[in-house]
Structure 1
C-alpha cells in the first residue's frame, strides 16, 4: 500500500495531461497484471475520485469501466464487490505504469525474502523437492523501463520517469517499539505466503498427488518462517525501488474514436 500511496502525485499528473472529451460514452482504465487485485482496486478508486474532482468525466453522460486482468485463479471478482458495489465505475486509457527496478539500485527485500524462503525450505523439503522450489522473477533495468526509441516508434510521449525508493513502514514501527516481535513477524509471513505458497505446494506435489502430509509440511514451513523473522527482524529492514512512468499516447482520442 505504501507504493500505491507513493503513486498518487504521478496518477494526478497523468490525469492532468490527458486529452479527455466528455462526449466519449465509455471511459476505461485497465490494470494488466493486477495480481490479487486489492492494491489495484485501491489505485482505481483513487483515479476515479480524482477524475471526478477534476471534472474530467460526466457521470450522467459517461460510463466508467475498470478492467483488472491477471490469472483466473485469483480472487479479483470477489474483491471487486467490496470496492465497487453495484454502481458502474470507470477509469481511463493506459497512462500510468509502475515497475520494480533492479540493478544498480539494490532491492534488498528481493534478496532477504527469497534467502529466508530457501533456508526454511531446506528444513522441510527433500533434496529433489528443493530443486523444484524456485521463483522465476525478472527485474527490469532503468533502460528497459525508459526505452525512448520504443516510445518514439509507438507515438508515445514520456511525461515523467522517476525512481522512487520506498522504505519498509513495518520495520520502522518495529524499531520505534510500536509493534512487538509477533506483530511484526506475523503479517510479513502472511504477505510472503500469499505469493509463494503455490510454488511450495508445487514443489511438494511434483512427484506425486496432493496429500494431507503436504498440508502438514506447509504448516511447518510457515511456522519456521515466522520464527526466523522474529529472530532476524533486521533482515526485513527492507526497501524497494520502483520506477514510476507517466506516458501519453499521441492523438489517442482521435485514433480510437474517428
Structure 2
C-alpha cells in the first residue's frame, strides 16, 4: 500500500463535510482526521488498568501513520486517558516498505512501535486486546482482484456485471474487516475509519485520469491483448450507504458514534491554476499520485503473462513516461475532488 494514501492525505486540502442523512450541516475543516480522532477518544471507555494498545491498519511507509499515532497519544494525554506508555502497532502487508517505516520510527523515537505484517482483512491480533483501532485511506483496496474488467482497468468504467462482482468483493472485505477489528477491540474501545468513497452521484474526481491511464495502456503497443485484459486495478470506492451498515455493526457488537461524508479538494490543481507550479511539475506530481496502486496492477498483469523482470521494469518506465506526456497534452483543470466517509464505532 506504499504511498497510495497520499492520494487522500499529503496532496489534498480544503476539506468540507457534506450534509447527508445522519450528517451534520456542512462546515469547513482543515483536518477532519484530527477532529474525528478527538471525537473517538472522547467516546473511549476502557475500564481495566492495563496500558492502551493502539493499532493503525494500513500503515504504508509510516509517515502519515506515525503522525496520526502522535495525534492520538497527545489527545489521550490531554484528556487524562493514558495509563503509562501505550503500545503502538503498525499493520500492513508483508511486502510493505517496512525498512522505511522502521527508519522513521527510529528517527521519531516518541513511542514504542511494533510491526504487524498481514492483511487487515484477516485476524491480525489477539482478541480483546485493542483500545483504539484506526485505518485511513486503505479500505478501497480490495483483498484481491475479483475479476478482469474488459475494455478498461478501473471499476468506474466496468460493465454492470463486472461492477456487481467488484461490489460483492468489497462487501465481503468490509464485513471481514469489521468482524476481525470487533474481535480485537476491548469493550469500550473505538474504531476510527477514513474510507475513500464516491459522492452522492457516484463520482470521484480522478475518474478522468484513470481513464487516461487506460488510454495510455492501449497506446502502448508492446502490451499484448491478454495483458491489457489482465490490467485491472483492485480498487472499489464505496458509497456512503455501503460504508454505514448498521446491521453489520450490530452483529459484531459495534455502536455507530459518528459518521460524515467529507469532500477533499486537490491542492496540485489549484497550484497549477495560480502559476505556483509549472506544467512539467504538475504532470510529474500527478503521475506520482496515480502510480503506486496502478503500477502494481500493471506489473502483476505482466507477471501473469510471464514477462521477465527487466521487461516489466522497462514497460513500466515507458508507460509512466507516456502518461506524463498525455497529462500535459490533455489538461483537465476542473476541480479534482475526492471523497471519504469518516466513521467512529465503539465496541459494546
Normalised by the length of structure 1, the TM-score is 0.84
Q: What SS does the aligned partner of 2:86 have?
A: strand
Kept in 1, the 8 Å contact 2:298–2:316? The answer is yes
Counterparts in 2 of 1:154 and 1:216: CA distance versus 1, 3 Å: closer
Counterparts of 1:199 and 1:236, CA distance in 2: 27
Counterparts of 1:246 and 1:174, CA distance in 2: 35
Counterparts in 2 of 1:109 and 1:19: CA distance versus 1, 3 Å: same
The structure number with the bigger radius of gyration is: 1
Kept in 1, the 8 Å contact 2:204–2:339? The answer is no
Quick check: 1:6 aligned with 2:28? no
Q: Encode CA deviations 1:137-169: one digit per residue, 9 max, x unaligned.
A: 222222222122233333322211100011111
Deviates more, 1:224-233 or 1:240-249: 224-233
Counterparts of 1:108 and 1:148, CA distance in 2: 25
Q: Give 1:111 deviation, angstroms.
A: 1.6
Alignment-derived partner of residue 73 in structure 2: 48
Structure 1 unpaired stretches of 5+: 251-258
Q: Give 1:121 deviation, angstroms.
A: 0.9
Counterparts in 2 of 1:232 and 1:83: CA distance versus 1, 3 Å: farther
Give the structure, 1 or 2, with the largest relative contact order (CA under 8 Å, sep 6 or more): 1
Alignment-derived partner of residue 287 in structure 2: 189
Alignment-derived partner of residue 68 in structure 1: 90
Equivalent residue runs for 1:87-126 within 5 Å: 87-89=110-112, 92-94=131-133, 95-102=191-198, 104-124=200-220, 125-126=223-224
Runs of 4+ residues deviating >6 angstroms: none
Q: Give 1:211 deviation, angstroms.
A: 4.2
Counterparts in 2 of 1:185 and 1:101: CA distance versus 1, 3 Å: same
Equivalent residue runs for 1:1-258 within 5 Å: 1=9, 2=12, 5-20=31-46, 24-58=49-83, 62-83=84-105, 85-89=108-112, 92-94=131-133, 95-102=191-198, 104-124=200-220, 125-234=223-332, 237-250=335-348
Counterparts in 2 of 1:221 and 1:66: CA distance versus 1, 3 Å: same
Counterparts of 1:107 and 1:46, CA distance in 2: 31
Counterparts of 1:102 and 1:169, CA distance in 2: 19
Normalised by the length of structure 2, the TM-score is 0.64
